[in-house]
Chain A
Amino acid sequence: MAETITIEVARYRPEQEGEPALQSYEVPLNKDWVVLDALNHIKDHVDGSLSFRWSCRMGVCGSCGMTVNGEPKLTCATFLSHYAPGPIRVEPLKNFPVVRDLVIEMTDFMEKLQSVKPWIVRQDDPAPAKGEFLQTPEQLDEFKQFSMCINCMICYAACPVYGLDPQFVGPAAIALAQRYNQDSRDQGEQERMDVLSQHEGIWGCTFVGECTEVCPKDVDPAGAIQQYKLAATKEWFKSFLMPWSKQ
């Protein structure tokens, strides 16, 4: 018999039970397996009713975020052997309502994302046929990092401010707003500023920095939030000292 490892999975079947409970499974401890492979092994061969999201299995679609031994992780990029001899505990991402088993509810984020206008805003609108907007590699570098976000929700799961105040726009949405603000082709910073300033939440963030710590794609949302705060403060001073300058 090959080596095995115990994996404790949070099960929640809303049609049968009132709250989640852990269920243990033994899975082979294959050195090439990630946590997601173990979950699939369970689903295919032990218990077909286990529900979780996944798709690409290469860390780019952002579906498979879960809590592994207390830490938010992309399960397709988290090796079983890392946790040997076990047990490994797999739970849904924190700070989100649980729909079922390991599946969380994330429409809140989808709405917040839309609210920060994550698209190029232009006052003029030159036809594409006229050629590309020029952008040097250095200008690209200004926002590239923030454009790497895969919307995996891992930063939200690690953010205590979001946990305490779900109104908080949150790390990834702010990073994506900043991604467009910093894009040399964009002219929408003011509009986005107006949206982001509507809610106090952003000032609730006192730089915990966990979002950047856990982000699997090195997006550095904490940096984006600080950049945004700095811009907002400048804006505030400007309107305070020179109220006439407001366009």
Chain B
Amino acid sequence: MKPSTAYRQYHPKWYRTRVSTLWWSRKWSYLKFMLRELSSVFVACYVVILLLQLHALRGGPDAYQGFQDWLKDPWLVILNGVSFLFVLFHAVTWFNLTPKAMAVRLRGKRLPNVLVAAPNYVAWLAVSALVVFLLTRQG
């Protein structure tokens, strides 16, 4: 027990609970929050990789080839994989909160949340399909 500062009459002595280090493990929603915070590290890594890529591009075909080889390093594959998962996670979070941010109404009735979020997913699928199409056509 820590010694407390003494109470002085008519001066309230408030107790401030410190946030415990493991507070985020108490709840799935808190954990998700922490994961989103944590994702910034990976996003930063991704940005660095992108910058390196640009740098390599400027350095000519050889440098770019070296960069591509470097990308095959298993650590980097894992890093990129994790970043990708986080991006997915963010996408889902933001899609799910569109119905919160915009109350869409049809004939005076508020549309159910699923219906508002759905177009996001549809658009997402469409864009992904397009990307897959472009990639496979080239290959």
By a beta-carbon cutoff of 8 Å, the part of chain A in contact with chain B is 12, 14-20, 70, 94, 97-99, 105, 138, 141-142, 160-161, 163-164, 206-210, 213, 220, 222-223, 226-227, 229-230
Contact = CB atoms under 8 A, between A and B. Distances in A.
B47 to A, nearest CB: 19
Contact of B97 (A142, A163, A226): A226
A94 B17 contact: yes
Interface string B1-34: 1111001000011111101000110110110110
B14 A99 contact: yes
Nearest to A164: B19
A160 B23 contact: yes
Contacts of A16: 7
B42 to A, nearest CB: 15
A99 B24 contact: no
A139 to B, nearest CB: 10
Contacts of A141: 108, 110
26 contacts: A15-B13, A16-B7, A18-B2, A19-B2, A19-B15, A94-B17, A97-B14, A98-B17, A138-B105, A138-B108, A163-B23, A164-B19, A206-B33, A207-B97, A208-B30, A208-B33, A209-B97, A210-B30, A220-B100, A226-B97, A226-B101, A227-B100, A227-B101, A227-B102, A230-B101, A230-B102
A136 to B, nearest CB: 9
Given A206-B33, A220-B100, A227-B102, A163 B14 contact: no
A209 B100 CA distance: 10
B103 interface: yes
Contacts of A222: 97, 100
Given A14-B7, A16-B7, A142-B103, 17 more contacts: A14-B13, A18-B4, A19-B2, A98-B16, A98-B17, A160-B33, A163-B19, A206-B36, A206-B93, A210-B27, A210-B29, A210-B30, A223-B100, A226-B97, A226-B100, A226-B101, A227-B103
A160 B24 contact: yes
B58 to A, nearest CB: 29
B37 interface: yes
Contacts of A229: 101
Nearest to B100: A223
B15 A14 contact: yes
A45 to B, nearest CB: 27
Task: Identify the interface centre among A12, A94, A160, A220: most chain B CB within 10 Å of its CB.
Answer: A160
Contacts of B32: 208
A168 to B, nearest CB: 13
Contacts of A164: 19
Contact of B7 (A15, A20, A213): A15
Interface in B25-54: 26-27, 29-30, 32-33, 36-37
Nearest to B16: A97
Contacts of A12: 15
Contacts of B14: 14, 97-99, 105
Q: Which 5 A-B pairs have the closest CB atoms?
A: A18-B4, A97-B14, A226-B101, A223-B100, A14-B13
